[in-house]
Structures are given as structure tokens and as C-alpha cells.
Chain A
């Protein structure tokens, strides 16, 4: 790291650290609570965006229907949860439903239009319009909430902050587990090896005898499934209603733009930045919270057009 780059990072980190110290001394409870809430939001964003970035990294497909997959998973999960009364089954159902829909989209849309970036984007935009309206038709505009099982419901006591919803800690935990599992899958298994090879050089992977289409479908299912899982997990933390699809789509876009396209650790960094910025913005400067997100995006773009961990292609 050059001296200039180092100075730049200090310029960025030092004021933030000072602000954090000020916040800590001013009102420690508020500060820590906001911090934890930011982490929870970041976990949700990470789960949604990791699927998005995985799909993009391997196939160069920008799936703008990713937000719809999130909502589909959430609604299906809600139905299953309502019927069976089991939250874990709901999470599983959300994952499977979105994964199946993702495979269908991959086979019907993306496989037919390989290499036509713009057309893929347009089709997925059209799909998201249609899916959003179909879901609005069937489920109406009401707000749906999930009932998590008793052992993760309620509050837990933490030092300094007296009470904090247990479930939010669970979300953080889930996302860390998912992150570790993804890391293990990508770095420790044969399929992960193929996916990484595909990210680096699709043509060569195909030439060495791997059925690339199967890898594509699998990755797409995984990415879409993660969106659906996030739908149920996020729907439990917050709620599910029409319009959440664009919100999470936008969040994953910004996270991935900041973190770097196609990089799972990048998605983690981006999610952390955006989630914390959003929560701290809402707590300390409610009117301009969205501006913080935007400023982060501009800084990232201005200095690293490919994102923090993006590879220069």
C-alpha cells in the first residue's frame, strides 16, 4: 500500500473513529443499539446480496428479478409457516421455492440469451414487474409477519444495553453461518472449485470438460435460494409487504456496487458499510439517512470503480 493510499484511508477512518467515540460517550446505549441494529440489517443485506453477487460473478448475469425472488420466498415461507406452524420449515420452503423459480428463470431466460447483457436485464425487469403484480394480486397489500419459535423470540440482556431482541442476534448468527458455509463451499469443495474457475474463465472451464450449464443452474439455484431464505429470515425480523422487493433489490445493488461485483467477501464488506450507514443515519440524522448510503456509493465509485474488492477486468 502506497503512502498516499495509506493517508487517504486514515483521512477516511480517523473522522469516523472520532465520531464513533463521540457517539459512545454521548449516549452509549443508543450508540451500541444502533450498532447492533446496523449489524442485523447488514446480515440481511449480506444474505440477499451474496446470492446476487454469486450469480453475477459466475455468469455475468444481472438478475434484476432478485428482489422478486426475495419476496416469493418470503410469501411461500409464510404460507408454509402458516400451515405447518413451523418456522424452520418456512425458512426451508422459502429457500426451495426461490431456488426452483431461479432455476426456471435461468433455463428459460438466461440460457436463451447468453451474452446479451442488455436483453437479460430488460427481461428480468419485466419479470420483476409481472411477479410483483401477481404477488400483489394474490397476497394483497397487507403486511405479513412471521412467528419465530419461542426459543428465539423475546429479548435477551446484554451488557450496557439492557434489552435487545434475541431474534436480531440470531439473524446475525445465521448470516455468519451462511457466510462461512459459502466460504467453505467455494474454497473447500469440488463444485466450489468449478464455480471459482468459472468466475475466472468460463471458456476454459467449459473446454476442460465441465458441464458448465449444470454449474450455472446450480449456482443460480443457490443464489436465488439465498434470496428466498433471506425473505423469510428478514420477514421475521421486519415484515413482508409489496415494495420490499425493490427495497432489497436496491440494497443488493448498492452493496454489490460498493463491495465489488462477483465477490462474496466484497458483499460482506459492502453490506456492513451500507447496513451500518443506514442505521446510524436513521438514528442520528433521520432526514438524510439515504444520503449516507449514496455518499458511500459515490466515494467507492470515485476511488474504486469496480468496488472495494472488485477485480479489474
Chain B
């Protein structure tokens, strides 16, 4: 055994790493990776199988999010609700990559920003000289496709590395893209970016209206959530989680590790680009300031705040983040928002590595007598 191999063995099995999975569970990746709900659905047809995992609590949450605009003021519907959903969708792409793929990518906001810029470039904006003025659906299709290619390219670069290196490389890529948009005037209009980009009117529905936009964002968020819930149970998702836990073993089992990781990046790129389109319609503008280092880190903060073990965490994190952003300034000085969010983030990372969802599961198992959630997997592959 070479020194390098020995070091790797020392690193992965040092007592600091939480490996609370017993060997018997480890040998059956399917039972382990299915996670929070029991994976055995007895239904026979695909229709009953589709509805089997939906419980009463899902209906309650569904009713709540559907009725929310009816009880909330336009400010709460738009500023809090819709913004949380859009940010949550971008954070969801990170949760998918990080939580299920083991690749923490800092550049998800960059992908979202790319699609925001593309909407401005293909669609209409205040910059007549650059914007091509295509109809919204064409702009959306091209924005999503090109952003997915962009995300796949980032993935292609970053999957050459592992773990911590991935974070650094994606962070470097994200910041490089920020500087590019800031310095390039031909395509990205430099420091000012684009403004007056508004959501389209489809048929009779004007999506600049807070309630209509809320439902648009909700539909996208639910679609993203549902897609992830489906994918992580599908063969591709299970293989991806296997790769997260032990790439070498999956490789020797005949899985193409690189292809799975690339596909994960492409799918996460799809989610992030949809989130980016929602975000540009929400803000009506896109400028380098929306994708600077702080914005990149905010997405990570949101994902970690909620908890990266479950797709719901992204949205819980986003709601918490947006609420803090809007109301922390009532408690402290307006300028000190970063201190509050940084402090909350530090507390969460220090005391509950699985975020608010992790706190909730701890609380539930200790005080409400629920059985503890299935074994936590090691955080690093």
C-alpha cells in the first residue's frame, strides 16, 4: 500500500467522520439510499404507484401553498412567496448535486444567472441594441437549453476533481463568470446589465401580477420537487447516490461514474436555469451584482440552512433566508444583514449539520416519539 493510498484510507475512516451505517446496511445500497420514506409500494399499476407516496401531510402542505395568496397580502405573495420559490428552486439544484450526488457546486447561481442573461439577450429589455426581441417561449427554450449546456460544461470541468476541490473550482468558475459579465459590454452590457425584463402575458394571464407569478413559481417549484423525488428513486438516482457513497465500488460494478455525474450536472442545470428565469422575471433586471460571490454563497447558505438531505430543505432554507432578509433589518441595523445571516449559518453548521430539517428530525425523534430517521450516510464519498 502506497503512502497515498494509506492516507486516503486514514482520511475516510478517521473517527471524525460519521459512519453510522452498519456493514449490513451498506451492502444493500437500495434500502439505504431511499431515505426518508419507506420505498416499498405495494401498488400494481403505475398509477397507484405514483400516488402511493403521497400522504395526508402532503395534501395539507399543498392546500396551504395553494391558499396562501388568498390570505397573504401582495407583498407577502410576491416578495416572500414567489422569491422564496425561485431561490428555492436554484438551491434545490444544489441540494440535488450535493445531497444526492456528493458534488457541492458553488456555481449553480452562475447557471441561473446565465439563463437570466439569456432571457434578457434573446427576449426584450431596455437594451434595444443587444436584446433580440424573440417571443418569450423561444427565449425560454433557448435560455434553458444553453444554460444546460453551460452547466454540463462546468460539470465536465469540475468532476475531474473530488470533494473540496469541486467547491473551489466551481467557486472560481462562478467568480470568473461574474467578472466576465462585469467587463463585457458587447453581450452582457457590463456593470449595468439589463433592466425592464418583465414576465410574459400568456393568453389572458398577465404574469407580472403577484398572484399569477406566485402560481407560476409554485408550479415550477412543485415540478422540480416532484422530478427530484422521482429521480432519486429511479435507477439513475440510486446509482448516483451509490456513486456519492463510493465511486470506486460503483465503477467496479460497471457504472459509468463520469456519465452519471455529468447527467446530474445537466439536470441540476435545468432546475437552476428555470429558477434563474423566474428570478429575472421577479426582479425585472439582471446585472453582475446578482451573480457575485455573495450571491453564489447565498445559494449555498440557503441549501445548507434547510438541510441537504431532502429536497424540501431547499425551500425551507429559502423561506428562512428571505424572511431573515426582509425582517432581520427590523431587529438590527439595515447594514448588518450579512452578520445575521452569517451568524445563523454558522450556528446551523456548528450545531446541526443537516440544517433545519435535521433539527426537526432530532426534535421529532426525541420529543414526539417517532422512530429516528434512517441511518445518516457519511457526508463525503
Q: A residues within 8 Å of B by Cβ?
A: 60, 62, 113-119, 121-123, 125-127, 129-130, 132-134, 136-137, 200-204, 246, 250, 253-254, 256-257, 261, 286-291, 293-294, 297-298, 301-302, 305, 311-313
A129 & B176 in contact (Cβ 8 Å cutoff): no
Q: For the complex, give the distance between the alpha carbons of A261 and B154 in Å.
A: 20
* Docked-complex contact A117 and B7, CB < 8 angstroms: no
Q: Which of B165, B293, B304, B346 contacts A127 (CB 8 A)?
A: B346
Known: A116-B353, A203-B10, A246-B293. 8 other contacts (CB 8 A): A118-B163, A118-B379, A118-B380, A119-B379, A122-B300, A122-B304, A137-B339, A261-B165
Chain A residues lying within 8 Å of B3, measured Cβ to Cβ, are 200-201, 204
Once bound together, how far apart are the Cα atoms of A126 and B176, in whole Å?
21
Q: Which are the 3 A-B pairs with shortest beta-carbon distances?
A: A129-B342, A115-B16, A290-B179
Q: Is B336 an interface residue (CB 8 A)?
A: yes
Query: Is the pair A201, B349 in contact by a Cβ cutoff of 8 Å?
Result: no
Q: Contact between A123 and B349 (Cβ–Cβ < 8 Å)? A: yes
- In the assembled complex, the CB of B52 is this many whole angstroms from the nearest CB of chain A, namely 33
Q: How far is the CA of A118 from the CA of B172 in the complex (A)?
A: 17
CA distance A114 to B353 in the complex (A): 14
Q: Which residues of B contact A133 (CB under 8 A)?
A: 336, 338-339, 342
Pick the contact of A257: B15, B172, B185 (CB < 8 A): B172
Q: Give Cα A203–Cα B335 distance, bound, in whole angstroms.
A: 46
Residues of A within 8 A of B346 (CB): 123, 126-127, 130
Contacting residues, chain A, for B6 (C-beta < 8 A): 201, 203-204
How many residue pairs at the A-B interface have CB separations less than 8 Å?
140
User: Chain A CB within 10 Å — which of B172, B293, B335 has the most?
Assistant: B172
Chain A, residue nearest B3 (CB): A201
Judging by beta carbons under 8 Å apart, are B339 and A288 in contact?
A: no
| B345 contacts partner chain A, Cβ-Cβ < 8 Å | yes
Chain A residues contacting B15 (CB-CB under 8 Å) are 115
Q: Given B183, B336, B339, which contacts A287 in the complex, CB threshold below 8 Å?
A: B183
Roughly how many angstroms separate A302 CA and B185 CA in the complex, as a whole number?
Answer: 29
* B157 near A298: Cβ-Cβ < 8 Å: yes
A-B contact pairs, 9 of them (CB 8 A): A116-B18, A119-B379, A129-B338, A129-B345, A130-B338, A200-B3, A204-B3, A288-B183, A305-B160
Contact pick for B16, options A113, A261, A290, A305, CB 8 Å: A113
Cβ contact within 8 Å between A137 and B336 = yes
Q: Is B246 an interface residue (CB 8 A)?
A: no
Contacts A126-B349, A130-B339 known; A287 to B185 CB distance under 8 Å? Answer: yes
- Name the residue on B nearest A201 (C-beta): B3
CA distance in complex: A137, B173 (Å): 29
Q: B114-140: contact bitstring with A at CB < 8 Å (1 yes, 0 no)? A: 000000000000000000000000000
Answer whether A291 and B104 are a contact pair too, CB < 8 Å, given A60-B11, A257-B172, A305-B160. Answer: no
Asked whether, in the complex, the Cβ of A115 is within 8 Å of the Cβ of B4, the reply is no
Are A313 and B380 interface neighbours, CB within 8 A?
no
If A129-B342, A129-B345, A130-B343 touch, does A121 touch B4 (CB 8 Å cutoff)?
A: no
B354–chain A nearest beta-carbon distance, Å: 11
- Tell whether A290 pairs with B183 under 8 Å between CB atoms, given A137-B335, A137-B336: yes
CB <8 Å contact, B350 and A257: no
Of the candidates B4, B8, B176, the one whose C-beta lies within 8 Å of that of A290 is B176
| Contact residues in A for B350 (Cβ distance below 8 Å) | 123
CA distance A128 to B128 in the complex (A): 40
Residue of B175, B183, B341 with most chain A CB atoms under a 10 A cut-off? B175
A256 CB contacts on chain B under 8 angstroms: 168
**Known contacts A130-B339, A130-B343, A311-B4: A253-B164 contact under CB 8 Å:** no
> What's the least CB distance linking A60 to chain B, in Å?
7
B157 touches A291 (CB 8 A): no
**B169 within 8 Å of A by Cβ?**
yes
Known: A60-B11, A126-B346, A305-B161. A293 touches B336 (CB 8 A): no
Q: Which of A126, A261, A312 has the most CB atoms of chain B within a 10 A radius of its CB? A: A126
